[in-house]
C-alpha cells in the first residue's frame, strides 16, 4: 500500500476523520459564499458542527449545472492567486466543465494516483507506460504525477501515434500500462500485427469509460496482464478517486478524501449496500473547488467490508453506465455496457463494437455493429456449410455472418429483453480508438449510415 495508515484504517477511525473533515468543509463553504453556502443556509446549516455523517444525505446536492452556471471559475473557494492549474472536460455537447487546483490539490491528486498505481501492484521499480491523453483532460497528467510520487519511471506517451507506442512498449519494457480499455485493445492489436513481444507487462490500469467484465477478459486474453479498473472525474479530482486492487473485487474508494454515497437517481434517497445507484461525492479536503454532495451521473453499487488485500476502504462496483446514457429502445431500458457484456460473453465477436440509435422514424431502432472473431467466423461458416451441404459445396461469408447475427440477436433478447438489429461487419469496419474515449453510441437521424453495411 502507498499509505497503509489511511487505506487500512478502522471504520470507526475513518468515520471520525470524515466527520471532522466534513465540518471543516462546511465552514469553508459558508465562508466562501456562493451557491453551496446559500443552499446550506436554506437547509438550516449555520456551521460545520451542525452537520453529521448520519444525516449527510439530507443536505443539498451540487450538480454539473452549477459548474456550468458559474463558468468559468465562479465556484472558487480560494482567492484566484492560489490557483496553480485548471483542468476539465469538454462535457455535454462541447460545453466545458472547468475545475481549478491549488498546489495542495495537485499534491493530493498525485498521492491518490500513487495509491491507485500501488493498488495495482506498481512500485518504485516499475516502468509505467502512460497512454492517457495529456492536456486539459485529467487522465494523463494525473497518472503521470502519481507515478512520480510513487518513485516509478513514467513514459509520458499520451494518446495516439500507435506505431510509436508499440515501439516504446517493445524498447522500454514497461510492467504497467495505463490508458482507456478501448485503447489497450488497440495497442494489443497493433502489437500483434507488428509481431512485438509485450511479455514485460504485468498490470494494466484502465479507466475513463465504463467497461464490462467481459471486456476485462478480452483484454487479459490479448495482453499478458491483470486488467484493473480506475475511477475518477474532473469535478471530484480526476483519476485516483477509486481503484481496483489485484483481487479484482471492486474499486477501493479513497474515502478519507472522498465521501461517497449511492442514491436512487429518481428520488435522491440512499440505496442499500450492494444495490446500484447514482454515485454522489463530497470532497472534504479539496481547496480550490470543494464540492458537497456532487451528483456524478455514474451508476454503480457500494459494498462495505474488508478486502483480502488488507484495505478497509468501501468498494464500488464497476460503473454500469451514466444516468443520461441509458438507451430506451422500444420500451426496454439498457446501458451500453450491458450490451457489451452480452456480445463479448458469447466469445464470438472481437471487442470492438458500436451501437447506432436509428431515429429516422418514430419507431426507434437499435443497430448493433460488431465484427466476428476469427474462430467464431470459422465455426459459423462450418455450421452454415453443414446445414447447406445438400444445396452447395460450402457456405459464403454472408451466410456465416447471417448465422452469427441471428445468434447474437437471440442472446440480446434472452438476456436483456432487447430487440436489436445485429450487423456482423467485415474486420476493421468498426472504428478503433486512437485518441480519447471510445465512441460506443452514435445517433443516426438522417443521411448516410454512420457505418457502411448497416443501411
pLDDT at 32: 96
Q: Region 196-214: what's the mean pLDDT?
A: 95
Class of domain 326-444: alpha beta
Reply yes or no on whether the pLDDT at 84 is more than 50.
yes
Model pLDDT for residues 340-380, shown as the tens digit of each residue: 999 999 999 999 999 999 999 888 999 999 999 875 444 54
Query: What gap in Å lies between CA 303 and CA 133, rounded to an integer?
Result: 31
Model pLDDT for residues 85-105, shown as the tens digit of each residue: 999 986 555 577 999 999 999
pLDDT band at 326; cut points 50, 70, 90: confident
432 in Cβ contact with 179 (< 8 Å): no
pLDDT at 93: 53
Q: Domain residues of the chain, as ranges? A: 80-322, 326-444
Write down the CATH number for the domain with range 80-322.
3.40.50.12780
Greater pLDDT, 437 or 202: 202
Amino acid at each position: 500500500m502507498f499509505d497503509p495508515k489511511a487505506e487500512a484504517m478502522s471504520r470507526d477511525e475513518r468515520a471520525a476523520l470524515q466527520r471532522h473533515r466534513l465540518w471543516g468543509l462546511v465552514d469553508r463553504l459558508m465562508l466562501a459564499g456562493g451557491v453551496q453556502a446559500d443552499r446550506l443556509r436554506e437547509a438550516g446549516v449555520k456551521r460545520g458542527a451542525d452537520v453529521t455523517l448520519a444525516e449527510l444525505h439530507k443536505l443539498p446536492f451540487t450538480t454539473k449545472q452549477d459548474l456550468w452556471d458559474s463558468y468559468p471559475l465562479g465556484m472558487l473557494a480560494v482567492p484566484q492567486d492560489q490557483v496553480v492549474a485548471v483542468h476539465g472536460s469538454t462535457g455535454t455537447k462541447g460545453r466545458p466543465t472547468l475545475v481549478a487546483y491549488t498546489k495542495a490539490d495537485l499534491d493530493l491528486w498525485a498521492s491518490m494516483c500513487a495509491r491507485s498505481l500501488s493498488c495495482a501492484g506498481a512500485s518504485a521499480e516499475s516502468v509505467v507506460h502512460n497512454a492517457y491523453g495529456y492536456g486539459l483532460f485529467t487522465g494523463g497528467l494525473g497518472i503521470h504525477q502519481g507515478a512520480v510520487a510513487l518513485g516509478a519511471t513514467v513514459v509520458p506517451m499520451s494518446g495516439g501515434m500507435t506505431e510509436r507506442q508499440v515501439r516504446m512498449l517493445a524498447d522500454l519494457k514497461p510492467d504497467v500500462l495505463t490508458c482507456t480499455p478501448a485503447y489497450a485493445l488497440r495497442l494489443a492489436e497493433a502489437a500483434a500485427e507488428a509481431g512485438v513481444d509485450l511479455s514485460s507487462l504485468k498490470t494494466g490500469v484502465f479507466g475513463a469509460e465504463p467497461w464490462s467484465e467481459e471486456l476485462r477478459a478480452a483484454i487479459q486474453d490479448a495482453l499478458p496482464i491483470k486488467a484493473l479498473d480506475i475511477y475518477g472525474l474532473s469535478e471530484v479530482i480526476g483519476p485516483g478517486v477509486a481503484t481496483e486492487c489485484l483481487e479484482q473485487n471492486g474499486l477501493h474508494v479513497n474515502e478519507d478524501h472522498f465521501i461517497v454515497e449511492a442514491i436512487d437517481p429518481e428520488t435522491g434517497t440512499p440505496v442499500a449496500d450492494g444495490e446500484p445507484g447514482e454515485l454522489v461525492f463530497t470532497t472534504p479536503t479539496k481547496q480550490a473547488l470543494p464540492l458537497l454532495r456532487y451528483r456524478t451521473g455514474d451508476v454503480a453499487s457500494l459494498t462495505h467490508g474488508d478486502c483480502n488485500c488488507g484495505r478497509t476502504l468501501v468498494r464500488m462496483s464497476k460503473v454500469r453506465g451514466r444516468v443520461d446514457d441509458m438507451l430506451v429502445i422500444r420500451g426496454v431500458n439498457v446501458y451500453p455496457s450491458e450490451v457489451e457484456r452480452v456480445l463479448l460473453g458469447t466469445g464470438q465477436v472481437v471487442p470492438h463494437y458500436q451501437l447506432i440509435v436509428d431515429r429516422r422514424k418514430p419507431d426507434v431502432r437499435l443497430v448493433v455493429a460488431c465484427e466476428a472473431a476469427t474462430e467464431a467466423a470459422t465455426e459459423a461458416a462450418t455450421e452454415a456449410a453443414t446445414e447447406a451441404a445438400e444445396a452447395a459445396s460450402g457456405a459464403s461469408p454472408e451466410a456465416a455472418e447471417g448465422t452469427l447475427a441471428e445468434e447474437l440477436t437471440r442472446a440480446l433478447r434472452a438476456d436483456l429483453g432487447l430487440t436489436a438489429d445485429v450487423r456482423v461487419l467485415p474486420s476493421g469496419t468498426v472504428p478503433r480508438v486512437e485518441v480519447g474515449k471510445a465512441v460506443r453510441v452514435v445517433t443516426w437521424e438522417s443521411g448516410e449510415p454512420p457505418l457502411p453495411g448497416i443501411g
